[in-house]
Structure 1
Amino acid sequence: MRNWGLLTAPLGIFLCGMTVLYLKMQGAMQKVTTNTLQDPLTYVPYLLVAIFLTIVIQMVVIRRKLDTFILPIILMLVSIGLVEIARLKPALLLRQMQWLCIAMLVMFFVIRLWPKIRRMLNYPYLLGIGCVFLLGLPLLFGTEIGGSKNWLVLGPVSLQPSEFGKIILLFFLASYLSDHRRVLTLPAHKFLFLRLPPLRFIAPLICIWGMAVLMFVVEKDLGSALLFFGMAVLMTYMATGSKSYVFLALGFMGIAAAASYAMFGHVRVRFDIWLDPWADPNGMAYQVVQSLFAIGTGGLWGTGFGFGHPGFIPEVHTDFIFSAIVEEMGLTAGLMLIICYALLFWRGIKGALKLKNTTEALLMAGCGVLILLQMFIIIAGVTKFLPLTGITLPFVSYGGSSMVSSFILLALLLSLTKEQKNV
């Protein structure tokens, strides 16, 4: 009963938030426009579908004796995201709810088909080639949106291949690192204080690092570049325990970043904004400056839901939704969000430590690391801790590709908890 009680809390958050918005809209006697909430009955079918899928998925989780605490945590994040999108961009709420239903349906099938999906781990090089192919599609057929050429436009639908490429990369790293773990931990060459194996064994890792730099320079996608690079470094360290790979990767990235700064104008703009946004507060640094103002205005408890001014931040419903949450709900709400992501990471690492199969252990740990790392990169960007990136806050920001890929990660995390009973 406690598990089902945890599932009702996110529904309560969503319904309460929507009620506040409707009352505020009626109190202000706003006219119905494309930027106001539609009739409540418009959202009911998709809400019922989401509730039905939640019950079905949780029944599968309980029957298969999977981790019953992961789904409620995710639904908490999703409900906050839906309420914020209804607050910031009401016209997009219906589409986000549609994507949520699609994502949950995909999650259900991934859990059911996991015995077949796990066979992909037997083909690391095919996974690597598939990842490169998927990430290379925007270079040939991509459309530039929001300053980054990392989108594929298919009629009315826009997809971000990097959102799905990170999952394939996760499979590749888990498979390759587990297969070559012994060789990677037996150093053959010494360079300064670094101890490294033969070049042919670390060549795939160098290709991944180079691919991350290419995404940064050519596609202008700093967020995905940092995410892919961080995944490769952290998973290599988890597999080998060697600090030499970390230092080598940081040195490689430092040299590439310095060269990119000297050669490409858009790289210099990103770094200059990060170093001193106040040099151009009404121009290129406008988003970052408004984000800092919003977070500062919110303080500890926030201005009150619906009483802030997050609309001053361009594209606040995607990259800067964390700033909007902190402005109206305070630093307390921001910390609670971070704690939810930290709990997912903890469940992933805790489960991975119980697995005897190295490949599956790396995959499970990688799922937890990927969710936490993506959260860290985007929050660090909107708070000026790192250069601003163009990735989403998982399960919270608006975006169909992000929602579907995040629920696939969740399905992998849940499916791997069953393997703990089978070792």
Structure 2
Amino acid sequence: MGAPALVCRLCGSTELESFVDLGATPPCELFLTAEALEGPEPTFPLHPRVCRSCLLVQLPPLIDPDETFTEYAYFSSFSTSWVEHARRFVTAATERAGLTQDSLVVEAASNDGYLLQHVVADGMRAVGVEPSVNVGQAARDKGVPTVTAFLSPETGAAVRAEHGPADLVVANNVYAHIPDVVGFTQGLRAMLADDGWVSIEVQHLLTLVAYRQFDTIYHEHFQYYTVGTAIRALASGGLDLVDVELVPTHGGSIRLWARPTELGAGRTPAVGKVLADEAKAGLDTVEGHAGFAREVSRIRNDLMRFLIEAADAGKTVVGYGAPGKGNTLLNYCGIRPDLLAYTVDRNPYKHGRYTPGTRIPIHPPERIDADRPDYVLVLPWNLRDEITAQLAPVAEWGGKLVFPIPALEVVEPGSSPA
């Protein structure tokens, strides 16, 4: 009995082509306890496709979001630069949307209140919609009212009925995480005032391809957007894209500003500019997506060669960070504790646990200062400036930092990107 045909979650087409095949890995945020090391660990294919009809790059929905997001290991507030990014966003959004003390701001996938805490501090009303029980409680502890639920058209209608229409609906770094993109978009519209604004930040496929950011592909990311495909996704829920900003987060993201379709708002020149850049890169055709897999293989080969040579020379290599993207990299490359002794992370939730699949132990950051390794492999490369500053003491014993993407780079702590 053959496998069921893959169906595009946006347009329903069955004509899907391979984008890159990263093998099979466990869900990237299911960190293992010591007891779990003795048990089985499920893995799922990590093989995104591109739709020939609408060009959406997507993963088949092989995992249930309920299993991943009910208790979640990622707390946004552990990144100081991300909290500051959110603060600046709230300031800019307040001006753009003309928010006042009477305004309501709702965030879908509000995590631990990293963003809405700034809305509350400015005296505006705020409501978070967050499916993860543990991080949602952290938000409530900060004074951010939070509904524990996945966003759907029904959830959106319930939030609006209880709190009123939202002047601004935010969905930062979640639009890739939902398998029902149409239902989620309808949920955004359901919460929105008829003259309101929606702001979405999501990784940009253009930069993912240009800078070979294959490690940002994992099972929690069900789709990967260009502005072209985002326009189609937003339209499925009754929203029109009116403006776009390019932002540096997560290696290169797009901030989409949308409004209800019935408003008939026009698009800014910025939208046309980014669409033209995507077409120039070939991302307006299926054929333009080819070649990415070759670049990914080259990154794996270069990193493995470095780690093997370091091991042969008796050098110690440890990791910094335990992000989801790091687990895609580790599993695709087949890196185990013999090549990467351990990694460290600022999030206490992960201490004493092990990376999924590769089973590399995770320790507090202080372990690096105690052990003085020769090399530190930086897994959250998107926070390069912040982490380089945190790792400045590595220079004291002659250690070096290793950045694997977009190409292998071994640098002195404090060095600027090449």
TM-score (norm 1): 0.24
Q: Relative contact order: is structure 1 or structure 2 higher (C-alpha 8 Å, sep ≥ 6)?
A: 1
TM-score (norm 2): 0.24
